[in-house]
Amino acid sequence: MFAITGASGRLGRLTLAALVDRVGAAGVVAVTRTPGAVAQTRRVRTRTADFADPATLPAAFDGVRRLLLISADRTPGRLALHRAAIGAAVAAGVEHVVYTSVVRAADPGNPVPEALDHGRTEALLTASGLAHTVLRVNVWPDLLLLSGLARLAVSAGELPSSAGDGRVGYVSRADTALAAAALLAGEGAPPGRLLDFTGPGLTDGQVASALTEATGRPVRHRPVADHEVAGALTALGVPPALATGWGENDPFRRAGWFDVPEDGTARRLLGREPVTLTDFFASHRTELLGG
């Protein structure tokens, strides 16, 4: 039996659909805190569980052979949530765990705040003795839509950042779901315990060009200093909390923490190249043009 945790989240729902397409609904269990939010159309079984309430986990993982552990969203105590899930997977006799991490999660000195819990979770998996595969996912361009930054940059004709020539290998959330489902199903899986799921590295100048190409509106990259980023994004109209959150990664992007070599993992898992940034933006053209 296959199980996906976090099944009601955005990644969870997409992955569930992709997994059912591959293996059928009968052998799939959706594990979530909010079963009502999991679309019933796929006819998968749901089991209610919360990593914060470990007593719910034995029944949720009972009989599960391959488990996709979707990382919880970034909250204090996330590592403890992951520790509980891994412990329950061991106790339930799960044969293989797939975990969604981030690129360079365990690199010494990684300053990216998001990476810390992931690196520690990877270490917990190793210490658990569970057979596992870590899908180290690069940045989703979906975040540029969610924050409104991409639309506002198109409207203003400029994308302010201090990331310089730092490159990010964007891969979409939808492609991440397809790759995670393939990995869980055991199909096309490249060898190795740590897999980088990344696209080609792009500078913010190239992100601006992708926005231009996808929308037909000229967008240029405007270099600013680190201390000016949050203010520049807020001035565009990005909500302050999101502007600060996005901007705090600019020095890390500039320093190359999201620039990892493509090694064919994405192609192998997807059976094609990942969707390019230009095509991703083009598929959201109406939204980017304020429609």
Ligand X SMILES: NC(=O)c1ccc[n+]([C@@H]2O[C@H](COP(=O)([O-])OP(=O)(O)OC[C@H]3O[C@@H](n4cnc5c(N)ncnc54)[C@H](OP(=O)(O)O)[C@@H]3O)[C@@H](O)[C@H]2O)c1
Q: Which is nearer to ligand X, 34 or 235 (CB)?
A: 34
- Based on CB atoms, which residue is closest to ligand X, 82 or 254? 82
* CA-to-CA separations, 99 to 6, 45, 119, 135, in angstroms, rounded: 12, 21, 11, 6
Taking the C-alpha atoms of residue 135 and residue 76, their distance in angstroms, rounded to an integer, is 22
Using CB under 6 A as the binding rule, whether residue 206 contacts ligand X is answered as no
Binding part of the chain for ligand X, among 48-56, 61-69, 210-218, 273-281 by CB under 6 A, reads 48-56
Using CA atoms, how far apart are residues 117 and 139, in angstroms rounded to an integer?
Answer: 16
Token digits for 287?
């939204």
* Least separation in angstroms between CB 26 and ligand X: 21
For 144-195, the DSSP string reads: HHHTSHHHHHHHHTEEEES-TT--B----HHHHHHHHHHHHHTSSPPSSSEE
Gap between the Cα atoms of 226 and 158, Å rounded = 17
Cβ closest to ligand X, residue 75 vs residue 227? 75
User: Which residue from 16, 23, 29, 32 is in contact with ligand X, where contact means CB under 6 A?
Assistant: 32
Q: What is the rounded end-to-end Cα distance, in angstroms, of the chain? A: 43
Q: Which is nearer to ligand X, 121 or 158 (CB)?
A: 121
User: Counting contacts by CB under 6 A, is residue 44 touching ligand X?
Assistant: no
Question: What 3-state class would DSSP assign to 100?
Answer: strand
Question: Which range, of 132-140, 247-255, 268-276, 278-286, touches ligand X by CB under 6 A?
Answer: 132-140
Residue span binding ligand X (CB under 6 A) among the ranges 5-13, 159-167, 226-234, 255-263: 5-13
Residues that bind ligand X (CB under 6 A): 5-12, 32-34, 50-52, 70-73, 81, 100, 102, 137, 139-140, 143
